[in-house]
Amino acid sequence: MALNRPVRLCRIRPNLFDQSETVTEVSRRGVRGRNGRQARLKGESWVVEWFLGGIRENMSKAQIRKRLLNIWHDPVLSKVVAAGIIGLLTIVGTLAYGYFSRLSLIPAFLSLLNLQVPIWLIGISLISIVLLRYLFRFLLKTKSARKTVEYSPEFIPLDTVVFNQIREKLLPASGTIQFIRNFNFAGFSFESERLDDLGNFEYECQNPNFGFMHPKLEEFRQTIKVLIREFEHLIALKTFPTESGRQTIPKEWEIENPKEFWAVVKRIHELSAAICLNYDELVNSGRRILKVI
């Protein structure tokens, strides 16, 4: 029986669809799926989409900073960025030299190539670069240590309340987390109530009092929230009710539209794996930081 429109799950709220138009683009940056490979983006450059997607999702400054560091630490992207910076500095320096020397770009560049620089100046420049590098590392370590100190032991009881609320009430490991960890969404039907924990968690995240004081735990919470939003959006748009009242990705899609069928299945499995991975990290980190059994 053909269906004209998808049916929303009971836990999906209307305001979710106003926000999820950008959430889909955010999460297209590629979450590591069950096969361990990075999802590829189509159309725009996946690097630009991956970075700008986080800004459109209003990520915290710490998360954006972490994303930039990940780009810089990547063995390929770091070289591309470094080459671009060097090229930009070369062009700017040549233009500045040509402006003060009243030369055009090419003569100014050739003049710079033939410019004789004293050896002592080169030595001082190299020493300055090395010193600046060590100074930069020292400042990063100092800033990191300062952040660690800023987390007062007085925050532990507050974070423990939120941690136990997530682990015992909103997202227990034996509930929806266990279900999406093992369930195969490739044409198999499921009861919509099995996903209620995700809706409860995402709804509670709208409460400004619901959050961690510890930056690492808060980052995991924010990541899980974003992933759950797209997961709920995808389930609401791409699954349909069966005659028995369960939800499923239409089996006929596998024959009539296999490209759409397997794209939806793959993305749901990727999001399931990413939610479970971040949930596990949140629980394990929370138990160590908060000293909770």
Q: What confidence tens digit (pLDDT) does each residue in 214-250 have?
A: 999 999 999 999 999 999 999 999 999 999 999 999 9
The torsion defined by the Cα of 139, 142, 143 and 144, in degrees rounded to 10, comes to: 120
**Per-residue pLDDT band at 30 (split at 50, 70, 90):** very low
- For residue 243, the enclosing domain spans 14-18+153-290
Residue bearing tokens 């969404």:
185
The domain spanning residue 285 has which CATH number?
Answer: 1.20.1440
CA–CA separation, 244 vs 105, rounded Å? 74
| Whether the Cβ atoms of residue 46 and residue 31 lie closer than 8 Å to each other | no
Residue 122 lies in a domain: no
Mean pLDDT of 122-131: 86
CA–CA separation, 46 vs 30, rounded Å? 9
Which CA distances in Å does 165 have to 158, 204, 276, 283?
11, 10, 17, 12
| Whether the Cβ atoms of residue 138 and residue 272 lie closer than 8 Å to each other | no
**What are 105's two structure tokens?**
């770009």
pLDDT at residue 14 is higher than 50: no
Q: How many domains does the chain have?
A: 1
Per-residue pLDDT at 21: 39
User: What's this model's pTM, rounded to 2 decimal places?
Assistant: 0.54
Backbone CA torsion sign across 209, 226, 26, 84: positive
pLDDT at residue 74 is higher than 80: no
- The residues, ordered by sequence, that sit 6+ positions from 194 with a Cβ below 8 Å of its Cβ are 176, 179, 183
Residue 135 lies in a domain: no
| Whether the Cβ atoms of residue 282 and residue 225 lie closer than 8 Å to each other | no
Return the number of other C-beta atoms located less than 10 Å from residue 102's C-beta: 8
| Whether the Cβ atoms of residue 271 and residue 234 lie closer than 8 Å to each other | yes
Element holding 241 (H helix, E strand): strand 240-241
Residue 170 lies in a domain: yes
Q: Where are the alpha helices (DSSP H) in the chain?
A: 14-27, 46-56, 61-73, 77-101, 105-113, 119-150, 156-164, 176-182, 196-204, 215-238, 253-256, 258-290
Residue bearing tokens 């800004």:
55
Residue 248 lies in a domain: yes
Do the bridges between strand 247-248 and strand 240-241 make them parallel or antiparallel, or are there none, so unpaired? antiparallel
Mean pLDDT of 120-136: 85
- The pair phi, psi for residue 251, each rounded to 5°, is -65, -30
Top-confidence residue, 62 or 124: 124
Residue 109 lies in a domain: no
Residue 148 lies in a domain: no
Mean pLDDT of 139-148: 67
Report the SS3 class of residue 31: coil
| Whether the Cβ atoms of residue 163 and residue 156 lie closer than 8 Å to each other | no
Residue 273 lies in a domain: yes
Mean pLDDT of 155-182: 95
Residue bearing tokens 């970075």:
51
Helix 46-56 crosses helix 14-27 at what angle (to 10 degrees)?
Answer: 150
- The residues, ordered by sequence, that sit 6+ positions from 268 with a Cβ below 8 Å of its Cβ are 185, 231, 234, 235, 238, 249
Residue 208 lies in a domain: yes
